[in-house]
Structure 1
Amino acid sequence: MSNLSEQATPGFLVWRLSMKWRVAVDRAVAPLGLTHAQYSLVASLHGMQRSGLRPSQRRLADHTGLEALYVSKLARGLEAAGLLERTRDPADPRAVQLALTEEGRETTRRAIDIVQGLLRQLLAPLGGPDSPRAQEFTHDLTALLDAPLDPSATADGTPPATDQ
Structure 2
Amino acid sequence: MSDIEAEVRHNAGFLIWRLSMGWRAAMDRVLEPLGLTQAQYAVLAPLYGMSRSGARPSQRELADLTGLDAVYISKLVRALERAGFVERSASTVDTRAVELTLTDQGLATVREAMPRVVRLRDELSKPLGGIDGERTRQLAEMLVQLLDSPELRR
Structure 1 unaligned runs (5+)?
Answer: 153-164
- Amino acid across the alignment from 2:134: P
**Structure 2 counterpart of 1:102:** 104
Give the drift of 1:31.
Answer: 0.6
2:84 is equivalent to residue 79 of structure 1: no
- Aligned partners of 1:5 and 1:107: how far apart in 2? 43
Which one-letter code corresponds to 1:15 in the other structure? W
Contact 1:29 1:111 in 2 (8 A): yes
Q: Please state whether the residue corresponding to 1:91 is helix, strand or coil.
A: coil
Asked whether the 8 Å contact 2:8–2:14 carries over to 1, the reply is no
Corresponding residue for 2:69? 67
Q: Is the 8 A contact 2:85 2:104 kept in 1?
A: yes
Question: How do residues 116-127 of structure 1 correspond to structure 2 at under 5 angstroms?
Answer: 116-127=118-129
Deviations 1:89-140 (A, max 9, x none): 1111110011111111110011111111110011101111112111111111
How far residue 51 of structure 1 moved from its aligned partner, in angstroms, is 4.1
Structure 2 portions without partners, runs of 5+: none
Check the 8 A contact 1:28/1:114 in 2, yes or no: yes
Q: Does 1:131 align with 2:133?
A: yes
Contact 2:9 2:15 in 1 (8 A): no
Distance 1:134 1:82, change over 3 A: same
Supply the AA of the counterpart residue of 1:145: L
Q: 1:113 to 1:9 in 2, by over 3 A?
A: same
- Inter-partner Cα distance in structure 1 for 2:60 and 2:92: 15
Q: Which protein has the bigger helix share? A: 2
TM-score by length of 1: 0.83
Q: Kindly provide the amino acid, as one letter, of the partner of residue 142 in structure 1.
A: V
**TM-score of the superposed pair, with normalisation by structure 2:** 0.88
Cα gap change, 1:5/1:30 in structure 2, threshold over 3 Å: closer, same or farther?
farther
**Equivalent residue number for residue 11 of structure 2:** 9
Give the corresponding residue for 2:150.
Answer: 148
Render the CA deviation track for 1:42-86: whole Å, top value 9, x for unaligned: 011111112443211111112222221221121122112211110
Seq. identity, % = 51
Question: What is aligned with 2:26?
Answer: 24
Q: After superposition, where does 1:25-64 map in structure 2 within 5 Å?
A: 25-64=27-66
**2:86/2:103 contact within 8 Å kept:** yes
Deviation at 1:12, TM superposition (A): 0.6
Give the distance between the partners of 1:95 and 1:53, measured in 2 at CA: 14
Question: Alignment partner of 1:99: what SS?
Answer: strand
